[in-house]
Amino acid sequence: MPNTLTETKADIGIRRRILNEWHRRRDVGGFDAAFEHPWMYAARLLVFVPSIAVGLMAVNGSYNTSAQLAAVVFFTLSVLLVVWPTSSLRMGDLQTVTSSFLMVLCVSLSFEAMPPSLGEATPPAMEGLPSPWYTLGIHAYMVCLVVRRRTGWAWGTLCVALLFAASYGARSDVGALSGVLSMCSLIGLILAAQILVTEMRRLFTRRREAWRMGLSARTTDEENQDLVNASIRRIQEVRRMAGGLLERIAHDNSPVTDYDIAQFRLTEAQLRDSIRGRAIANPRLLEVARNARERGVTVDILDERGTPLPHRIMEVVTDQAVAVLDAAQTGAVTIRAFSPDDATAVFIVHDPGDEDSDAVAIEIEQETGEISVL
């Protein structure tokens, strides 16, 4: 098949574009893609549900009902902002500032809702709680900030929360130090989250690099194999066209006749057409061109585009070229394929070489295959 090398190169180009697209998606993937999955957002949201439920149950029995309710509302809004999906894993500036501010307000109002002295009666809804109602939630919140590349804001929010805890401890009978110690576990959590996230990113990066190397190796192997297959098909094509003549030269010692020489030249021209005009040369066109040469017509098939024509355009080109070649008895026929960015796909010219006969020129449009006879 004359178009095998060109078609193979086109197939390689298409495959490379597809793999490049996969490569681009893989670059965006890794650690960020894992945490941007919709199920991950849902899982993170579910982590905060218990804290919200406990906070709502503590509203009626709290020391300051209004402050407790406002704290739960601010906590919920802050959580929604930190888990809300965005175009990238890193939170936006406004989203981060608003979420951190709401969480700080939540902590402040939660201490306002607690009794100023442990000697006072503890509300029934808050009995048995070893820590504030939002303890689980604020731990998960800090981890989310670290994961979403806002570690500085996590530390800032923690510092302000510690100030409120110290202030509450100083105003109550537990003392400022005890108030701070109630939230010190967040320091270790943020440090652990930073280390874990950093190592996970490194792991995903190494896996992605290994995947790229494997992909590159597979792509190179496939391209090499395609070129080998194309070469094999080219050899088979040469054998089909010239195999009989070559065997005769190798094994037959009889004299070479003028007819044999003519057949050699026709086969040589046919092979030349399959190479020089590979984008438009097909078995049907090559056979008709060979017959025209036997009648004494000079035929040139040239390719300037390098890539195969669309199937419907190729059918039009073949039909028109065959019609011109069949009608030609003398002169020269030139079939030229132009580059893809040209308005003309193929130009066919028959010059009869006779002043009394008019030349025929056929232009086939690139996009539509429209035929214009000049």
Residue ranges of domains in the chain: 36-183, 259-373
- Confidence check: pLDDT of 19 > 60: no
Confidence band for 235, pLDDT divided at 50, 70 and 90: low
pLDDT of amino acid 124: 43
Report the range of poorest mean pLDDT among 33-47, 62-76, 102-116, 257-271: 33-47
Q: The sheet that has 371-373: what strands, in order across it?
A: 298-303, 332-337, 344-351, 360-365, 371-373
Residue 338: DSSP 8-state? P
Mean pLDDT of 131-158: 86
Give the pLDDT of residue 98: 92
Facing residues of 335 across strands? 301, 348
More confident of the two residues 111 and 31: 111
In this prediction, residues 194-201 reach a mean pLDDT of 84
| Band of residue 3 on the pLDDT scale cut at 50, 70, 90 | very low
Instruction: For the chain, give the percent of residues with pLDDT over 70.
Output: 72
Residue 373: pLDDT above 50?
Answer: yes
Pure H helices in the chain? 4-28, 31-35, 38-57, 65-83, 93-113, 135-147, 151-171, 176-181, 185-251, 258-276, 283-294, 311-327
Average pLDDT over every residue of 338-355: 89
Overall average pLDDT of the 71-84 stretch = 88
Q: Which of 31-40, 82-91, 214-223 has the lowest mean pLDDT?
A: 31-40
> pTM (2 decimals)?
0.46
CA angle, residues 150, 188, 153, in degrees to nearest 5: 20
User: What integer pLDDT is reported at residue 7 of this predicted model?
Assistant: 46
Kindly give, in sequence order, each residue whose CB lies less than 8 Å from that of residue 188, ignoring residues fewer than 6 positions away. none
Q: Is the pLDDT of residue 346 over 90?
A: yes
CA 37 to chain centroid, in Å, comes to 17
Least confident of 17-21, 69-73, 264-268: 17-21
* Average pLDDT value over all residues in the chain: 77
Say how far residue 344 (Cα) sits from the centre of its chain. 34
Mean pLDDT across 258-264:
78
pLDDT at 248: 66
Structure letter (DSSP) for residue 62 = S
pLDDT given at position 1? 42
